[in-house]
Amino acid sequence: MRAIAILALGGVLIASPALANSEKVKVSVGDTNFHSTAQVKSFYKKLNAAAVRVCTTSNDLFYGIKADPACVKATMEDAVRKVNQPLLTAMLENPNAPRYATDDR
75 or 1, greater pLDDT:
75
Give the integer Cα–Cα distance in Å for 29 and 41: 12
Helix (H, G, I), strand (E, B) or coil at 84: coil
User: What's the pLDDT tens digit per position in 9-54?
Assistant: 432 233 334 444 556 778 888 888 999 999 999 999 988 888 888 8
Residue 30 dihedral angles phi and psi, to the nearest 5°: 50, -130
Percent of the chain at pLDDT above 70? Answer: 62
CB count within 10 Å of CB 19 equals 15
What is the model's pLDDT at position 16?
A: 38
Confidence class of residue 87 from pLDDT cuts 50, 70 and 90?
A: very high
DSSP per-residue codes, 12-41: -EEEEE-SS---EEEEE-TT--TT-HHHHH
For 8-12, 67-71, 91-95, which range has the lowest pLDDT when averaged over its residues?
Answer: 8-12
Q: What is the pLDDT of residue 13?
A: 35
Helix (H) or strand (E) segment spanning residue 93: helix 86-93
